Amino acid sequence: MKNAYKRLDIYKCVHESHKGFGSRMSVHHIRNRKGCYPHGCFHFKWHCKLMKQGKSCYRGFKHMGKDCFGCRYFYEEKVHNYPELQISEKEHDDFLRELNLFEDWLDEHLHREWEIHGRVDGVKPLFRKRVYAKGEGFAFGGFLLIFRELYIGKILMEDHVYVQMSEKTYAALKFGRGDLITARATLSMDRGRLVFKRLRRVEMEERGEAPTWDVSKALVARETATRIPIQPDGCVQCPFGALVDVEDLQEAETRKYRQLYCLKGRE
């Protein structure tokens, strides 16, 4: 079985915010988060007449925001986007049947504890970022085990699955790439990703590589990490590439998205 929500070969969207993904969007984003197929969605693009002329804001602002509403130089443009199929209509119908089977399986397994078994493909520190009007916070929140495939009960999930754990659990077990484990954990869904939490009863059946990370290295990476504006597959798969969950609190409505960071601090 594969995670149908994370497929990137079904839909694409030319919204300017998706350029870093090559306009390829996950099934989860299109169908669950936005619900925009096939009718599309719209957003308002902000413009400043002064900035378009290369002039400075007379109120001293460097960027457009909610404080610009009502200004005579500010105006909005309504932009309507439509997601497009990357496959044929027949292939899309076949995919929808696959999606229904996956969602039936998910309904039976979500928020329940299961035995899991698999080989760790990678270990990364887990960071979260909050963006405020006058700054941002970058917090370390434990570690993430990455599996390319994982047995969940008797079903082999032939797709990426993640196990989230605290600093204390990681320090006690010292996971490394290549470790073969059997454990119990509770399945959750995070923006289309399969993520296990509350890891317990861990049996280390085979040791792999020495651990790459510890808490002190993660805290150093938190201070030196640099953001990568696009998301190349090579950087996402790199042991030092981390997709960081972002909460943007600058506007009245909180926006949630992910940004790619290099934990080695490379530009």
For residue 192, pLDDT beyond 80: yes
Summarize the confidence of residues 210-227 as an average pLDDT. 92
State how far the alpha carbon of 253 is from the alpha carbons of 3, 43, 249, in Å: 29, 13, 7
Number of Cβ atoms within 10 Å of the Cβ of 253? 6
pLDDT score recorded for residue 40: 84
Summarize the confidence of residues 206-217 as an average pLDDT. 94
Question: Taken in order 177, 179, 185, 189, is the CA torsion positive or negative?
Answer: positive
pLDDT score recorded for residue 18: 57
pLDDT score recorded for residue 103: 98
Summarize the confidence of residues 247-265 as an average pLDDT. 84
pLDDT score recorded for residue 251: 75
86-115 pLDDT, tens per residue?
999 999 999 999 999 999 999 999 999 999
Question: Which residue type is seen at 229?
Answer: P
Question: Which residue type is seen at 86?
Answer: Q
How many helices, marked H, and strands, marked E, lie in the chain? Answer: 6, 16
Pairwise CA distance, residues 185 & 152, whole Å? 10
Summarize the confidence of residues 219-237 as an average pLDDT. 85
Percentage of the chain lying above the pLDDT 70 cut: 96
Domains and CATH numbers, the chain: 4-105 (no CATH), 110-262 (2.40.50)
Beta bridge pairs of residue 259: 244
Pairwise CA distance, residues 13 & 126, whole Å? 28
pLDDT score recorded for residue 181: 98
pLDDT score recorded for residue 207: 97
Among 116-130, 209-223, 228-242, whose mean pLDDT is lowest? 228-242
| Mean model confidence pLDDT for the chain | 90
pLDDT score recorded for residue 49: 93
Pairwise CA distance, residues 118 & 49, whole Å? 57
For residue 85, pLDDT beyond 90: yes
Pairwise CA distance, residues 140 & 167, whole Å? 9
Summarize the confidence of residues 1-8 as an average pLDDT. 96
